[in-house]
Amino acid sequence: MKNLLLPIILLGTIVSFSQDKGTFSGGLESNTQYYTDIPSGSSFSDEEDDPFRTNNYLRLNYDYKNWFATVQLESYEPKALLNFYPEYKGTDLGTYAIGYRSQKLEATLGHFYEQFGSGLALRAWEDRQLGINNAIRGGRIKYSPTHSLSFTALYGRQRDGFHVSKGDLYGFNAEIGLTDLFKMESTFLDLGLSYVGRSEDLDISNPNFESLTNIISTRLDISSGNFYSSAEYVYKSKDIHIENSTFFDDKYYGGNAFLMNLGYAKSGLGIDATFRRLENMALFSERAQQGNLFNQSIVNYIPALTKQHDYGLTNIYVYQSQPTLNLFGTGNAGEIGGQIDMYYTFKKETPLGGKYGTKLAFNFSNWYGLKADYNTMEGTYGTAEILGFGEEFYRDASLEIRKKLSPKWSSIFTIVNTFYNKRIESSRGEVNATALVGEATYKLGSGQSLRFEAQHLFSDDTSVDHEGNWYGGTIEYNINSRIAVYVNDIYNYENSTQKTHYYNVGGSFTKGATRISANFGKQRGGLLCVGGVCRYVPENTGFTLNISTAF
């Protein structure tokens, strides 16, 4: 039935489109790599047999009046890119759905993506760069009887490769606009309530085992004038403890999360502060996936709340959120911390603004483990203080200055100071590092420009794999609005074991909705992060080709 669904929908789409009924759209994306060198000792045993790998996605959408249908065909031939989920193999139908949408009602049958609130209770999404597609296959109904009320109910199983997980997901969400209900004029007030249930039967001898794990979330958003704030509390019911793929049927722990955001914004000034506390909040639609390295079967969305940097050397030491309960190893129950962002613009024709104005952006983030009493021999713990700060995991302070120097020259200067505890990656040692980055762009006219970038990382690295100081640079030439070429390199010239150049030479071509990019170079092994969610990329050298288009 599943294999027949794609040709049936495609046939209906073509017929309807040919009769000028409805609209047809889609997109194609192809990411290809040819590996010329993969260091020995990596966890991939057969990479030499498959130096050519590619991930391909063809998405087709059809809309007719209030009806819609969508399919996504995926191909990983001969294999998926390195360190993608092993179940992504071959060619098959990845997602499909059909539904009805009106002003008040939306119903979907098949695969769908969903997020409740900030995602601490539920988020199903796709990120092809990270290899994430946690779509839910089942049914969903959204109903909005009024402008101020919205309800969502869903049931399904989460995608796992070309299959689905063993656990069932139930969800309900309510968004209540209190502003309209209470007829407020200058204050916006919204209330959110969510429930998510994960049910999975296991062969557990303990009679107290419950197949159903519940997450309940409540949140409130308030804004008035230039000020805004939000708060969310999430409760997770007790569930069997899992660590290093081992089920401990005599240990059951619950979890909770608290997220608060405050901000102020007006022309030329912005301040945004976020605080979050997580305790045992990792949840997977299939319990056996707990701790997997591929971000599969994740029910909720717990990104690292730190600044997402733009440069190679400012992304050497990146933080991953720590929501998982670890009792027998290092002893950790979660994380506590936050970040603050400040933006300010010095106006034109002022002493610090100069002729064209100056923009400043400052970020500070700091994260700790939870302060608790851990008994790593018996596998127990207790948090005596709700706001107790334990061992420091990560600290990052950055300042960015953007300055236009003349009609042709513009510049960016960035300084980033980072503390990184390698315990969060199951290693030892600490890193104190400071990165300096200077960037300048020169406009040549007729759509042409040159961009120069210089970087240096001063590192006091006490870990066993001491990498020391780095330098790097980039030259990019935009030939016109469609074509750009570049060359860059970062080099850990103080590495205690092996000094390596991680270079790349490439370019891109863009026309309309089509973009083609290619490069050859050496990829540094480590974490690749998008939006605070990361996947590990092994060190490799090779050729990369990316093609994407929409129609």
Q: What CATH number is given to the structural domain containing 158?
A: 2.40.160
Q: Are 49 and 38 in contact (CB under 8 A)?
A: no
Angle at CA 193, nearest 5°, toward 241 and 148? 160
Domain boundary among 452, 484, 499: 499
Does residue 270 sit within a domain?
yes
Number of folded domains in the chain? Answer: 2
Does residue 178 sit within a domain?
yes
Q: Which of 331, 311, 319 is nearest to 451 (CA)?
A: 311
270 and 322 in a single domain? The answer is no
Does residue 149 sit within a domain?
yes
Q: Are 166 and 286 in contact (CB under 8 A)?
A: yes
298 and 345 in a single domain? The answer is no
476 and 419 in a single domain? The answer is yes
Q: Which of 304, 259, 256 is nearest to 280 (CA)?
A: 256
211 and 189 in a single domain? The answer is yes
Range of the domain at 216: 102-302
Does residue 322 sit within a domain?
yes
Q: What is the DSSP string of 28-46?
A: EEEEEEEEEE--TTSS-SS
Q: Which amino acid is at 331?
A: G
Does residue 392 sit within a domain?
yes
Does residue 548 sit within a domain?
no
411 and 430 in a single domain? The answer is yes
396 and 288 in a single domain? The answer is no
419 and 298 in a single domain? The answer is no
Q: Name the pTM for this structure.
A: 0.91
Q: Would you write out the chain's pLDDT as a tens digit for each of its 551 residues?
A: 444 444 455 445 444 544 568 899 999 999 999 999 876 544 444 445 678 999 999 999 999 999 999 999 999 999 999 889 999 999 999 999 999 999 999 999 999 999 999 999 999 999 999 999 999 999 999 999 999 999 999 999 999 999 999 999 999 999 999 988 888 888 999 999 999 999 999 988 888 899 999 999 999 999 999 999 999 999 999 999 998 889 998 899 999 999 999 999 999 999 999 999 999 999 999 999 998 889 999 999 999 999 999 999 999 999 999 999 999 877 899 999 999 999 999 999 898 899 999 999 999 999 999 999 988 888 889 887 889 999 999 999 999 999 999 999 999 999 999 999 988 887 788 999 999 999 999 999 888 999 999 999 999 876 666 778 999 999 999 999 999 999 999 999 988 778 899 999 999 999 999 999 999 999 998 888 888 888 888 889 999 999 999 99
223 and 161 in a single domain? The answer is yes
Does residue 464 sit within a domain?
yes
Domain boundary among 247, 268, 302: 302
The dihedral built from the CA positions of residue 347, 352, 353 and 355, taken in this order, carries a sign that is positive
Q: Are 297 and 284 in contact (CB under 8 A)?
A: yes
Domain boundary among 499, 522, 545: 499
354 and 243 in a single domain? The answer is no
395 and 250 in a single domain? The answer is no
480 and 423 in a single domain? The answer is yes
260 and 325 in a single domain? The answer is no
